Amino acid sequence: MNKVRISNFLLGTLLTGWRLWIVWVICVSVFFLIIKFRIATYAEFDFASLAVLPVLVITWISGKKNGLIMAVLASTISLVGDIASERQYSFQWIPWVNALTHLMTYSLVALLANQVRLQFEREHERATRDALTGLHNRRAFLEAGTLEVERTKRYAHPLAVIILDLDDFKQLNDTKGHEAGDAALRATAIALRSISRSSDRVARLGGDEFAVLLLEIGYEAAIEAGRKISTAVDTALHGFPPVKGSIGIAWFGEADRPFPAMLKAADELMYEVKKNGKGNVRSRHFPEINKSDSKR
């Protein structure tokens, strides 16, 4: 399992619904097994520390609130186990003190686990997001694309890769300054996000180059999406002359190559546009069947 999959696993969406209930049932079952052993050994063996693991799991997959609820439940079950074990204590209140100690320990574990996850999420966000635009960066885009290609191989879904490069961006930087250039990049990012589907992946690859990964989309629909992107970006850049966008669209009916090669195919189409006047859209169908399209 590579770093990408480990990260995706550790930072997966917090569980809800029936999946969360299944984990709850498993964790509560672990508690009852612990209590059963305590009762069977007349509380001579303290298995209470093992309850930290279910509290940790619940907190990590469903958040601080559920983690604290699990801490209270674990402490309560521990108290019941101590009382049911019929062990003779020096004072009758000792099981209650033990339960309170367990509650404090479990709650601390839940709070710490939640803080670790939040910090992990922040670090992951910094590593995979472009600081200026808030879009995915090149690394995150390549990772997501690689995973989607693997999924496409299994389910035979088509996908398209769109590369957008801003024409004459350097001229804007040189004449209006880097603040204007940054504003143009942010405006482009907003335009891309505004017309993208929730399933699409949008990224800034670096400099003035952007990319969009369109999942489960037909060839004609991909061309139409590219045209909409071109129109939206041109509109967003109206206040930043002479900047416009050149777009290359590589559509794949099957995952016949690694994702970096797909990205390269779209990049080459974008450069074809630049060589022929800029500000247009060019698409190609892969495997190639002599289908291509250019805007204007």
Tens-binned pLDDT, residue by residue, of the chain (296 aa): 444 444 544 445 555 566 777 877 887 787 777 777 766 665 555 666 777 888 888 888 888 998 899 899 888 877 777 776 666 667 777 778 888 888 999 999 999 999 998 888 888 778 889 999 999 999 999 999 999 999 888 888 899 999 999 999 999 999 999 999 999 999 999 999 999 998 999 999 999 999 999 999 999 999 999 999 999 999 999 999 999 999 999 999 988 899 999 999 999 999 999 999 888 999 999 987 554 555 54
Tell me if 176 is assigned to some domain.
yes
Query: Which of 94, 110, 128 is a domain's end point?
Result: 128
250 plus 270 within the same structural domain:
yes
pLDDT of residue 176: 92
Tell me if 65 is assigned to some domain.
yes
Tell me if 118 is assigned to some domain.
yes
| 119 three-class SS | helix
97 plus 209 within the same structural domain:
no
168 plus 268 within the same structural domain:
yes
112 plus 201 within the same structural domain:
no
pLDDT of residue 76: 83
Provide the domain count of the chain: 2
34 plus 154 within the same structural domain:
no
Residue 220 belongs to a domain with what CATH number? 3.30.70.270
Tell me if 133 is assigned to some domain.
no
Query: Which of 73, 107, 128 is a domain's end point?
Result: 128
Helix H segments across the chain? 3-10, 17-40, 52-62, 64-84, 94-128, 138-155, 169-176, 178-195, 219-236, 259-275
81 plus 7 within the same structural domain:
yes
Cis-peptide, bond into residue 95, ω within 30° of zero:
no
| d(C-alpha 42, C-alpha 46), whole Å | 10
| d(C-alpha 172, C-alpha 1), whole Å | 44
Range of the domain at 36: 3-128
Angle at 233 between CA 173 and CA 162, to 5 degrees: 105
pLDDT of residue 154: 85
150, 151, 156, 157 alpha-carbon torsion, rounded to 10°: -120
Tell me how far apart the terminal alpha carbons of the chain are, to the nearest angstrom.
46
80 plus 225 within the same structural domain:
no
Query: Which of 84, 106, 128 is a domain's end point?
Result: 128
46 plus 179 within the same structural domain:
no
- Tokens read off for 159: 């996908």
pLDDT of residue 182: 96
C-beta atoms surrounding 78 within 10 Å: 25
Tell me if 93 is assigned to some domain.
yes
98 plus 154 within the same structural domain:
no
225 plus 284 within the same structural domain:
yes
Active site (catalytic) residues: 208
174 plus 54 within the same structural domain:
no
283 plus 157 within the same structural domain:
yes
Tell me if 80 is assigned to some domain.
yes
DSSP secondary structure code for residue 252 in this structure: E
Structure-token match 């303290």, residue found: 46
pLDDT digits (tens, 9 = 90+) for 177-223: 999 999 999 999 999 999 999 899 999 999 999 999 999 999 999 99
